[in-house]
Amino acid sequence: MSYCWLHHTRVYAAIAVITIHVAAQGQFTNEIGSLNWGVSALYNSASKWCVPIYVIISGYLLYKNNDPNSLNSFYLKRASKILIPLIFWSILFTFWNIYYQKMNVNLALKKILIGKCYYHMWYLYMIIGLYIFSPFLNSMASALSQTRFKFLLIIIFLLLSLNTIANTLHFKSSSPFFVWFIYYIPFYMYGSYLKIYGIKKINILRDKLLIFLLILLNFSAYQLLSIYGKDNLASYFFSYTSIFVIAYSLLIFQLFEKIFKATKHNMILENLGQCTLGIYIIHPIFLDLLINYYPNIFTNFTFVMVPVFVIILFSFSYFVVSTIKKIKYLNIII
């Protein structure tokens, strides 16, 4: 079975991740409620589907009914793909914090212990938990009928969104990194569901309009609450597990499958897709350098500057990652 369409999906998800991080700089450097702040927030909101879709892809690819491989072989294969990059880049970003960001050494080391050695590295810590529980989640997926599976997904997505609201309202601090994966189990299970039962026929035009409306609602709620000083409540709508983000993430994945499955095999996109983990990991270095040399770059013409710098960061990151992948022994870090 060909999964070339997933390479396309990964590439767009990687672009969306970079968009979030670039747009966040536009929000930090502009006054809340200003035009440039609003444009940055809109780019941010429109890209929040990226992490849920990465998890859905994992659930889709890792589901195998009656998998003959032992747990040991499964874990060894996953470990080689994620543990080495996690360890290497956690150390590198710790040094980056200390020597480039001038962070206190004790604080930099503490960030490793809490799974936040750098703002984007949390994903690698989180995905390890999903990999550990993947065989058991797959067994549960195989045992459920389609009706019960669908009902389970509805329940756990609703509970996930309600839990996010409760945490927001009660100002709950972040959970320890070894339980982060729990919040993403619904997305993983959704990927397994689609692998087993496929995607029903969809109306592309209707779904595009629905996605647009959901993004607009999510952005509008965030913008209004931020302007009126309800920052903590506003943060709910910028969570990957808010009700609107959940909804349009699921729809976007279905839309991508429908569109990209119909396209011809593209070696360039496939190559880009194989580099997306590395692009995800390395792009903040180039963003930091950009901000250091041009600290006020996002205070003007944000509508244009955000996509321009997303393209620049993606291109530089891809060049470095593709080069590393060609170097024997070093390619295991990416």
Task: Judge contact between 197 and 59, C-beta under 8 A.
Answer: no
- Identify the pLDDT of residue 299: 79
- Identify the pLDDT of residue 155: 97
Round to whole Å and give the CA distance between 176 and 113. Answer: 9
pLDDT along the chain (334 residues), means of 10: 83 97 92 93 96 97 76 84 93 95 93 93 95 94 95 96 87 77 96 92 91 97 93 91 96 92 80 94 95 82 89 96 93 90
Which among 64, 65, 23, 29 is positioned nearest to 47, based on CA atoms? 23
Q: What are phi and psi of 231, to 5 degrees?
A: -60, -40
- Identify the pLDDT of residue 175: 77
- Identify the pLDDT of residue 67: 66
Which among 216, 212, 208 is positioned nearest to 255, based on CA atoms? 208
Round to whole Å and give the CA distance between 21 and 262. Answer: 31
Placement of tokens 């444009």 in the chain: 39
Buried/exposed code over 221-257 (b: 16+ C-beta within 10 A; e: otherwise): bbbebbeeeeeebbbbbbbbbbbbbbbbbbbbbbbbb
- Identify the pLDDT of residue 318: 97
What is the pTM for the complete model shown? Answer: 0.94
Those residues with Cβ within 8 angstroms of residue 261's Cβ, 6 or more apart along the chain or in another chain: 5
Going from N- to C-terminal start, the domains of the chain cover 4-333
Q: Is 271 exposed, middle or buried (0-12, 13-18, 19+ CB in 10 A)?
A: middle
